[in-house]
Structure 1
Amino acid sequence: MPRFTALPTDLVQAYRAGGPDAFGNPPERKILDGAGNPCRHCLRNIPAGSEMLVLAHKPFDGTHPYAEVGPIFLCAGECARGGGADLPDILTTSPDYLIKGYSADDRIVYGTGTITPTPDIQARVAAIFADPDVAYIHVRSARNNCYQTRIDRDA
């Protein structure tokens, strides 16, 4: 069964310590004053009134034409790394998400990208992984294209 993979704890700890984001800037610290924003580490929504980090993140190694960079949010305080086979909380707050498969060399596998209704995510993931060229999947916001999480094949 595929597994949802949160950002690595060591990377998140580096951001929390002021380490540079994808553009070399320290993460911005904000107090969340409204509805929860999705933390890419615990894969839960950050509670209103909590401190959060806002930063540019590139979920790829190196630079190449498919290495998208975009804003993400993280809990500013400690949180347990999320992930696993179940749909994470952060993917239950929107009616749909952009889902697309990538090859082992980090290139989009054309024909896999689709805006998927939230209740259909698991079925769409299974259909994308039926393509042997797909090594992993990214889930992004359907409205803002923000990276949400990675989905890996079961080991």
Structure 2
Amino acid sequence: MTFRISGLSPEPFRALFGLPDQALAALGVKRYQVDSDPGFPDRIELKDAQIGQSVLLLNHVCQPADTPYRASHAIFVREGATQVYDAVGQVPEAMRIRLLSLRAYADSGMMIDADVVAGTEIEAVIARIFADPQVSYIHVHHAKRGCYAARIDRV
């Protein structure tokens, strides 16, 4: 099964880049200076930010469907990130090194399957989930903190 993993578009976050901390706080956003690597996985480029870089912690609606599975959670975006991760059949290192929760959705936005997997073994779970023709897409979350990581689509 061929799959595509994609990060978030930077467009919704660009207006936040460079804002003073007080302005960010008024919007419910917190800036961090990266002090460990790994530790601050960016959701645009799907890689851990490097020590010394700046990331924004904010709430993101990852599942906007009008179903009981509508969801939002905290994510990090690296300030200045512009290159959306978009790769077929490749898993980014930021996902490989983490325990992941895969959540499979139908076109309607209803969750129809889920599993937890080590990032090193994700391909087998993607193949198993996409074997069900009802599955339209998969959301990947970091299992320990529950944060949205990326979207997986069939190719």
Shorter-chain TM-score above 0.5:
yes
Give the conservation status (yes or no) of the 8 Å contact 1:101–1:136.
yes
- Which residue of the other structure, out of 26, 31, 34, is the alignment partner of 2:33? 31
Q: 1:119 to 1:92 in 2, by over 3 A?
A: closer
Matched residue of 1:59: which SS? strand
The CA deviation at 1:142 is: 1.4
- Which structure has more strand as a fraction of its residues? 2
Structure 1: which 5+ residue stretches go unaligned? Answer: 19-23
Number of residue pairs matched by the alignment: 146
Secondary structure, aligned partner of 1:56: strand
Which stretches of structure 1, 4 residues or more, deviate above 6 A after TM superposition? none
Query: CA–CA distance in 1 between the matches of 2:16 and 2:106?
Result: 27
- State the AA in 1 paired with 2:47: R
1:78-117 alignment runs, 5 A limit: 78-85=81-88, 86-94=90-98, 96-109=99-112, 112-117=113-118
Structure 2 CA distance for partners of 1:26 and 1:144, relative to 1, 3 Å: closer
Aligned to 1:21: none
Quote the RMSD (CA, aligned, Å).
1.9
SS in 1 for 2:121: helix
Determine helix, strand or coil for the equivalent of 2:62. Answer: coil
Q: Give % identity.
A: 27
Q: Is the 8 A contact 1:15 1:26 kept in 2?
A: no
Residue 48 of structure 1 is aligned with which of 47, 51, 67? 51
d(CA) in 2 for partners of 1:25, 1:76: 16
Verify the 8 A CA contact 1:7 1:149 in the aligned structure 2: yes
Q: CA deviation at 1:140?
A: 0.7
Equivalent position SS for 1:91: helix
- Mapped to 2, the partners of 1:14 and 1:65 lie a distance apart of 30
1:143 is matched with 144
Please give the secondary structure, in 2, of the residue aligned with 1:113: strand
Q: Which moved more, 1:60-69 or 1:76-85?
A: 60-69
| TM-score between the two structures when normalised by the length of structure 1 | 0.85
Once the two structures are superposed, residues 114-138 of structure 1 have per-residue CA deviations (whole angstroms, 9 ceiling, x without a partner) of: 1112222011101101111111001
Instruction: Give 5+ residue unaligned stretches, structure 2.
Output: 20-25
Q: What is the TM-score with the length of structure 2 in the denominator?
A: 0.85
User: Which of 75, 79, 86 pairs up with 2:78?
Assistant: 75
